[in-house]
């Protein structure tokens, strides 16, 4: 029996006090810095300087309603069937026309918007306050080869033909409005999944049906008059050359007569508004310009496309009261599009009463240097935290080293800028593309009991709810859904299924199957998620308090962090244990001799910190505990001293400056970072509320060689402020020295005639342009105590010691014997040594080249053809490929056949993908286990 049309959860919406972000008023800081450098007469300049300096500009780390969302992500076709009358979308009974075939996982199964509204009580019961729908616009019902087995339907919502209408399989525009109104009455916001990258596959090419990608270098775009041009020169402007479908593109696009008017709005039917370069390989240039498996890729560099998309989506805000957007395939659209789209849409929403309107994008990447670009340079509010998904799986499902979480959260400051930070990011454990957390846990722990699998699932959700970000529950995870993989295998209906592949699934925490509906509010995972949501609502610091890392075991064991609200000033300590035995750790806190009370988990009720401020915490296996300080933090009597470090070019992105500060003491502080070009006004570039205090300033709009001044201002918990001295940094990749030498007491062991020789060739380092690092690999260094420094250009005139300080102290190396790698980064002047511990069992090179190596697909860390072999002669892992086709590829190093441990650019854990522009022919991949650097050459 279906529920009444109006949901029972009719409580009035609660709008608590929030601090909005003010994104509409944001400016690109680097441009503001450049524009503010007005040259004044000497006297006027001095007066202006005095006027700018009276009081340091201290601020608070940004929070707001968008750091308090508990999302429920649902695929409307797979949730609940409220009206069987719309199952075929009015297209008849033939599944190859209507797309409705409930026995097949790749076709419409029957869910709709009415079904969602009928189950709002169930969704609200999880503690949900934000409902996120997959794209619900009218789709091309079926695409493919013309038969059931080689075709599929648009139930997932990404083959849009009409951006103004709800797909008839899901209901009507009026039913969407009814759902939104009902959700609002339940205290839930509604987020729409939207697309700006592509439409349904309608455009065809006269030359070919397969359409391999043709690069701009091979065939540039041409204006209607035949003149070659670079579209990037016009991106972000309101001008663009006129185009002609017959002559402007590498392929000749046309629209079949039967579909010439199928797209709405009508401007989408113009084939010159698409890139028309063929199918993407998801790497390099074609990642932005290529068609996704034939889907028509919009020419988002054109102002007509930008303006058209803004009009489409502001219309949904105006007419339906949508609360925000999740944006599909953001990585595959040019930066200039987002720099216009985001601010315009947000400004419109705020002007229409949506003060907390929130947009977050899909950037399928785990590197924070890459994903953070969309919230800093590209002016969007947030991105989905794909890195968190990998780190959470590694910790909770694979029981990898707890320090992996420390490495992951240690990069959060990449997201800090003047009007956004990492606290806004939606975090998740699985999704409709990659697969469910239940599936990952089942695969990672084959043979484990159901009780253990549920405990690991609980642990993953505890990490997600207690750590920074906005948690996202993928529908069905609360019922223990698993599946056999990603994509269609992770899209099971909540109602009784007729799909055989789903009926074979073994659900976690229940004897139920997909043969019956699964809306069991007594399921252990449903109850756990409900409990976590209730606890974080009762203790808001667990949702938006400053997150300070406290402890991480080197292996499986305890990872601990604290959350502290800036207003409440009370420390919460969260400790999670991913080992299968009880673990105890002395966890640092802010205060000595302070009482803590347990508010969550199975552990001692009351604890007191020791004289060294550590709290001895015992955590049962595969579980979490949370303690709350009895008293608030003591009020500071005077501002602490703040010292600014040397601003340097960020190792993972030469268009960002890493700016860091040290603060005396260990109480709760907030550090504001400011920047200016000499003679200009100070501009805030971000506020950090946890140590180490740092920001990664986007300076991409400034010319290489530009000098930028920085200062830091600390705000303590009593409102006192203090400012650092001003330090300068220089924009752009530093000019590399001619030579770098590891000069030290080890030189004679390296074959030099004596020690401490800055010009010894045997101690010379080699420059790696891919990683922008200088390297010296020593296959065998005798055991012993050594000291060394970096000497530049063969003399002591320029040398760097500990901490990258000029003429700094010697660096000590107590070496056990064997291979060692020395690494020098000229952007920071830091030189360090690294030597491998136990060799991993396996090293692979997952990337966009895996299919070319013979793997079943790309980015496969367990593919046999992508495995490197250990070469004991020089202590490195190698893979030689006889003939890699020409192309642009991306890759990383994966350890032990999984993503649990992986290394990217600069040898960074979970680092950026490494780009390889290959001319074709042989290539050798080399992984150094000491430095974690992987290279191709």
Rounded-to-integer distance, Cα 917 and Cα 377, Å: 25
3-state secondary structure at position 490 = helix
Rounded-to-integer distance, Cα 300 and Cα 305, Å: 6
Question: What one-character-per-residue DSSP string does 424-463 give?
Answer: G-EEES-BTTTB-HHHHHHHHTTT--HHHHHHHHHHHHHH
Q: Which two tokens stand for residue 633?
A: 């933090």
Rounded-to-integer distance, Cα 904 and Cα 408, Å: 13
The single residue listed with the structure tokens 């003149």 is 227
Rounded-to-integer distance, Cα 485 and Cα 181, Å: 35
Catalytic (active site) residue 328 = yes
Angle among Cα 707, 711, 715 to the nearest 5 degrees reads 160
Rounded-to-integer distance, Cα 588 and Cα 612, Å: 8
Rounded-to-integer distance, Cα 415 and Cα 367, Å: 11
Rounded-to-integer distance, Cα 583 and Cα 553, Å: 10
User: Residues 6 or more apart from 737 whose CB is under 8 A from it?
Assistant: 792, 793, 798, 826
Question: What one-character-per-residue DSSP string does 282-346 give?
Answer: SSTTHHHHSBSTT-EEB-TTSHHHHHHHHHHHHHHHHHH---EEEETTGGGS-HHHHHHHHHHHH
Q: Which two tokens stand for residue 516?
A: 């019956």
Radius of gyration of the CA atoms of the chain, in A: 28
The DSSP bridge pattern shows strands 623-629 and 606-608 to be: unpaired
Q: SS3 for 288-301, per residue?
A: HHCECCCCEEECCC
Alpha carbon separation from 510 to 399, 478, 494, 519, 712 (Å, rounded)? 24, 11, 14, 12, 54
Catalytic (active site) residue 336 = no
Question: What one-character-per-residue DSSP string does 494-518 give?
Answer: SSPP--HHHHT---TTSS--TTS--
| Residue 490 half-sphere exposure toward CB, CA atoms < 13 A | 20
CB 395 within 8 A of CB 409: no
Environment class of 445 (CB within 10 Å of its CB; exposed 0-12, middle 13-18, buried 19+)? middle
Rounded-to-integer distance, Cα 397 and Cα 784, Å: 40
CB 870 within 8 A of CB 305: no
- Residues 225-240: b if buried by 16+ CB within 10 A, e if exposed: eeeeeebeebbeeeeb
| Residue 258 half-sphere exposure toward CB, CA atoms < 13 A | 3
CB 357 within 8 A of CB 316: no
CB 36 within 8 A of CB 677: yes
Catalytic residue of the set 286, 296, 362, 462: 362
Q: Which two tokens stand for residue 172?
A: 């009507």
Q: Which two tokens stand for residue 879?
A: 């893979």
Rounded-to-integer distance, Cα 352 and Cα 321, Å: 9
Dihedral sign of CA atoms 173, 174, 180, 186 in order: negative
Catalytic residue of the set 68, 291, 328, 890: 328
The DSSP bridge pattern shows strands 382-383 and 358-361 to be: parallel
Phi, psi dihedral angles at 29 (to 5 degrees): -60, -45
CB 244 within 8 A of CB 193: no
Give me the count of residues in the chain: 937
Q: Which residues are catalytic?
A: 328, 362
């Amino acid at each position: 029996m279906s529920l009444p049309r109006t949901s029972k959860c009719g409580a009035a919406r609660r709008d608590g006090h929030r601090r909005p972000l003010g994104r509409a008023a944001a400016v690109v800081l680097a441009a503001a810095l450049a524009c503010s450098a007005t040259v004044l007469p000497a006297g006027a300049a001095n007066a202006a300087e005095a006027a700018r300096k009276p009081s340091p500009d201290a601020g608070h780390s940004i929070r707001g309603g968008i750091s308090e969302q508990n999302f429920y992500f649902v695929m409307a076709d797979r949730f609940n069937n409220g009206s069987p009358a719309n199952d075929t979308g009015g297209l008849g009974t033939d599944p190859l026309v209507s797309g409705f075939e409930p026995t097949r996982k790749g076709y419409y199964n029957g869910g709709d918007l009415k079904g969602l509204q009928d189950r709002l009580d169930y969704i609200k019961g999880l503690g949900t306050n934000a409902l996120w729908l997959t794209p619900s616009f009218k789709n091309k019902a079926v695409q493919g080869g013309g038969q059931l087995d080689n075709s599929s339907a648009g139930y997932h919502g990404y083959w849009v033909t009409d951006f103004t209408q709800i797909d008839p399989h899901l209901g009507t525009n009026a039913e969407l409005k009814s759902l939104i109104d009902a959700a609002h009455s339940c205290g839930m916001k509604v987020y729409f999944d939207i697309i700006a990258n592509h439409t349904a596959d309608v455009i065809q090419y006269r030359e070919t049906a397969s359409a391999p990608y043709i690069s701009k270098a091979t065939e540039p775009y041409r204006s209607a008059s035949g003149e070659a041009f670079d579209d990037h020169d016009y991106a972000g402007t309101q001008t663009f050359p006129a185009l002609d479908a017959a002559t402007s593109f590498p392929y000749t696009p046309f629209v079949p007569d039967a579909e010439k008017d199928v797209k709405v709005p009508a401007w989408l039917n113009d084939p010159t508004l698409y890139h028309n370069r063929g199918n993407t390989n998801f790497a390099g240039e074609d990642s932005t310009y290529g068609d996704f498996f034939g889907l028509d890729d919009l020419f988002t560099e054109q102002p007509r496309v930008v303006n058209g998309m803004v009009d489409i989506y502001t219309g949904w805000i105006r007419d339906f009261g949508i609360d925000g957007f999740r944006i599909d395939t953001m990585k595959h659209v040019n930066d200039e599009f987002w720099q216009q789209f985001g601010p315009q849409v947000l400004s419109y929403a705020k002007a229409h009463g949506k003060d907390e309107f929130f947009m977050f994008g899909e950037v399928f990447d785990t590197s924070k240097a890459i994903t953070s670009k969309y919230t800093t340079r590209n002016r969007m509010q947030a991105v989905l935290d794909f890195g968190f998904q990998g780190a959470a799986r590694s910790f909770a499902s694979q029981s990898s080293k707890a320090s992996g979480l420390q490495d992951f959260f240690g990069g959060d400051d990449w997201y800090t800028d003047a009007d956004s930070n990492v606290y806004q990011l939606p975090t998740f454990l699985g999704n409709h593309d990659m697969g469910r957390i239940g599936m990952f846990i089942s695969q990672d722990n084959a043979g484990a009991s159901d009780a253990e699998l549920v405990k690991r699932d609980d642990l993953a959700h505890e990490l997600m709810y207690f750590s920074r970000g906005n948690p996202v529950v993928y529908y069905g995870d609360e019922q223990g859904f698993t599946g056999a993989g990603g994509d269609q295998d992770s899209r099971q209906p909540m109602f009784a299924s007729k799909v055989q592949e789903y009926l074979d699934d073994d659900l976690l925490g229940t004897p139920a199957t997909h043969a019956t509906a699964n809306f069991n509010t007594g399921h252990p995972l449903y109850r756990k998620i409900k409990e976590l949501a209730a606890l974080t609502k009762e203790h808001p610091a667990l949702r938006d308090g400053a997150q300070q890392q406290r402890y991480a075991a080197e292996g499986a064991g305890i990872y601990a962090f604290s959350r502290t609200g800036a207003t409440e000033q009370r420390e919460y300590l969260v400790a999670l244990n991913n080992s299968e035995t009880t673990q105890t750790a002395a966890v640092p806190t802010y205060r000595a001799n302070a009482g803590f009370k347990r508010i969550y988990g199975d552990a001692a009720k009351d604890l007191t910190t020791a004289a060294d401020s550590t709290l001895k915490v015992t955590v049962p296996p595969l579980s979490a505990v949370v303690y709350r300080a009895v008293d608030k933090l003591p009020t500071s009597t005077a501002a602490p001293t703040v010292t600014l470090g040397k601003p340097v070019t960020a190792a993972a992105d030469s268009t960002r400056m890493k700016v860091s500060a040290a603060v005396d003491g260990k109480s709760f502080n907030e550090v504001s970072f400011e920047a200016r070009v000499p003679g200009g006004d100070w501009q805030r570039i971000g506020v950090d509320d946890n140590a180490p205090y740092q920001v990664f300033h986007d300076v991409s709009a400034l010319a290489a060689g530009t000098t930028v001044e920085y200062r830091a201002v600390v705000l303590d918990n009593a409102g006192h402020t203090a400012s650092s001295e001003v330090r300068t940094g220089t924009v752009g990749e530093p000019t590399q020295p001619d030579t770098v030498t590891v000069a030290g007491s080890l030189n004679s062991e390296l074959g030099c005639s004596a020690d401490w020789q800055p010009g010894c060739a045997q101690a010379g380092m080699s420059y790696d342009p891919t990683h922008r690092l200088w390297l010296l690999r020593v296959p065998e260094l005798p055991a012993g105590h050594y000291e060394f420094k970096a000497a530049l250009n063969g003399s002591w005139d320029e040398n760097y010691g500990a901490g990258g300080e000029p003429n700094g102290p010697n660096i000590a190396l107590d070496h056990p014997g064997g291979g060692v790698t020395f690494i020098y980064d000229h952007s920071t002047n830091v030189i360090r040594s690294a030597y491998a511990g136990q060799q991993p069992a396996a090293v692979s090179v997952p990337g966009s080249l895996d299919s070319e190596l013979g793997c079943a697909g790309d980015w496969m860390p367990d593919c046999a053809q992508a495995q490197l072999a250990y070469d004991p002669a020089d202590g490195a892992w190698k893979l030689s490929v006889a003939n890699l086709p020409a192309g642009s590829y991306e890759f990383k190093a994966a350890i032990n056949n999984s993503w649990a441990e992986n290394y990217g650019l600069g040898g960074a854990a979970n680092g950026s993908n490494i780009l390889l522009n290959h001319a074709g022919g042989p290539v050798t991949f080399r992984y150094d286990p000491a430095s974690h650097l992987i290279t191709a050459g």
